[in-house]
Structure 1
Amino acid sequence: MNVPFRPTSQRGAFTLIELLVVISIIALLIGILLPALSAARNTARTISCASNMRQVTTALLIYATDNRDSFPPNVADSALPGGGHFWYDTEILGQYLPTGNPENTVELGGVVMPCPSDSEEVARSYTINGWASGNIDDGLLSAGNSNQNWYNGWGSGLNQSGIRFDASVKEASKTILLVEAWAQWPIAGKYYTGWFVGSYYNSAKPYGKFVKNNYPYSTYTGQAAESAICWTRHAETDDYYAGNGAANFTFVDGHVSLFQDDELVDHSDGISTLTALWSEYDYKNNTP
């Protein structure tokens, strides 16, 4: 019996509807994955930033071990090269950290100094708590006050805002050593943080030291000795000036913590939560 020949059926091209379905599925997957990838990228940058700060903090602690518990100085003196001696000077901290700053060999920058979440133009994203300064610095004083006792916090002036400390401070796990700050100083095409943060010029009160020049959130461009904490990094959005960012802090015991500002301050009352201390004087000075 002859079996009739039936040609093998061949699949034609995709129909328009099928192509649209495939494209829709791909678009849906991209919409699901992109936020996750962006969040993962931001988390990686935050972790890398914390690692950088831990290395800088370790260098500061080793320096203190080599110098009778004193941290590096912040001394303004026009008679000295570079206008003074500062914690980030290559000749001071450079022996403990790698250098990678060919545009500016006097100051440390590059390598572990910039935060990966910061602008590519930034060479240094961190600065020290001014009350950890190893030498007296008039920049921490109010105008007309140059008395060492006042600087150390034992005076009774209205402008007293902190007590200088070293690596032997009692509450090492709560006392701030290094913070993320705005890089406002332009040098040879790069930007650097100032000498310190947390001084009287930031604010006389703990609350103001945390949020000065930063609340509501905006760009900080003031070229002054003191920097201001940058709360706009490590946000849940790519908007650099978003209001839901955070900042890494390191402490005298060597650990690093990431905080949003409302974890450290009470905006409604204008006071610090005392979770992190600029110095032990915060307990006495924590008023609006």
Structure 2
Amino acid sequence: MLIVIAVLALLVGLMLPALSKSRQSAQITACTVNLRQLITASLMYVGDNRDVFPDPAWDPPMPVGYRGWLYVGKMSDVIKNGQGSSTGSLWSYLGGEPDLADLGVQKTYRCPAHKPPWRAASTSDNITSYLMNGAVRGFGRVKVSYRVDRFRPDSWVFWETDEWVSGWNDGSSYPDEGLSKRHGQPNRNAARYDNAGATIAVIDGGCRWVSRVLYDEELKIRPGRLWCNPGRKTGD
């Protein structure tokens, strides 16, 4: 009996790393699918709106009358009333009814590895795991997002955002607010990468896995794929 128990324990020990790796792979695949849907919805929006990219919900200020890609109005209100991302400009392009919550559509905004507790009751991580690059509206310097043809085709416009930063006050972010630490790294220690990385969406409609090392290197390039604000020579 002891031999059987020992063998079973050994088998379990061998299987756990494989199961963990398989689960991680499935989560990464889900994020890639989600971000591909979000960038596709964004480009459909572009086609219907004179080639202007969706508003990033940069707050403050979000222009009066504009639906941000993630929500409209005051974020704390749409979270409190349960409408959440159904108020955003991409919702209908993802198959949802505007302003009507739908758990099936809502899954598109959520990495399966992103679990509560959230930063606060009114922060955007309550309704999304992904944020848009604030460069699409000049990091708040202009009132309306730029036309898509103003960007380099390799510009990174969505990413899985660092869950530990304080940048969840709206629907967009500065690039240096960071990439998620969920995948490939069990803790928030910025000095440890352990093959960590996350999925990003590109303005040309593609998606790719980016290591944290590559992301941090890209942060140094201005202008570049992250610092891609068309309104400034340095992209920031």
TM-score w.r.t. structure 2 length? 0.69
Mark the structure with the bigger radius of gyration. Answer: 1
Match of 2:38 among 48, 56, 76: 56
Root mean square deviation, CA, Å: 3.9
> Which residue in 1 is equivalent to 2:12?
30
- For residue 92 of structure 2, give the secondary structure of its aligned residue in structure 1: coil
Compared CA separation, residues 264 and 274, structure 1 to 2 (3 A)? farther
Distance (Å, rounded) in 2 between the aligned partners of 1:33 and 1:278: 42
Q: 1:110-166 CA deviation, whole Å, 9 max, x = no partner?
A: 221111110156421111111223xx7xx634xxxxxx5xx99xxxxxxxxxxx743
Aligned: 1:115 with 2:107: no
Q: 1:74-104 CA deviation, whole Å, 9 max, x = no partner?
A: 46568947xx6422232522221244999x9
For structure 2, the 5+ residue unaligned runs are 72-86, 118-125
> Which residue in 2 is equivalent to 1:216?
none
User: Contact 1:129–1:177 (CA<8 Å) still a contact in 2?
Assistant: yes
Distance (Å, rounded) in 1 between the aligned partners of 2:213 and 2:200: 14
More helix by share: 2
Q: 1:157-202 CA deviation, whole Å, 9 max, x = no partner?
A: xxxxxxx743224531x20111112568xxxxxxx6622112xxxx
Aligned: 1:232 with 2:208: no
Aligned: 1:167 with 2:118: no
Q: Relative CO higher for 1 or 2, CA cutoff 8 Å, sep ≥ 6? A: 2
Query: CA shift at 1:49, angstroms?
Result: 1.0
> Which residue in 2 is equivalent to 1:46?
28
For structure 1, the 5+ residue unaligned runs are 1-18, 142-147, 153-163, 185-191, 199-208, 211-227
Distance (Å, rounded) in 2 between the aligned partners of 1:262 and 1:79: 35
User: Contact 1:100–1:110 (CA<8 Å) still a contact in 2?
Assistant: no
Letter paired with 2:173: V
Query: CA shift at 1:276, angstroms?
Result: 3.1
> Which residue in 1 is equivalent to 2:160?
180
> Which residue in 2 is equivalent to 1:140?
140
- For residue 180 of structure 2, give the secondary structure of its aligned residue in structure 1: coil
Aligned: 1:128 with 2:132: yes
Query: CA shift at 1:42, angstroms?
Result: 0.8
- For residue 135 of structure 2, give the secondary structure of its aligned residue in structure 1: helix
Compared CA separation, residues 97 and 78, structure 1 to 2 (3 A)? closer
Letter paired with 1:26: L
Compared CA separation, residues 240 and 119, structure 1 to 2 (3 A)? farther
> Which residue in 1 is equivalent to 2:173?
197
> Which residue in 1 is equivalent to 2:94?
97
Figure out how many residues of one structure are paired with residues of the other and give that number. 202
User: Contact 1:231–1:260 (CA<8 Å) still a contact in 2?
Assistant: no
Distance (Å, rounded) in 2 between the aligned partners of 1:46 and 1:30: 24
Distance (Å, rounded) in 2 between the aligned partners of 1:101 and 1:30: 47
User: Contact 1:230–1:247 (CA<8 Å) still a contact in 2?
Assistant: yes
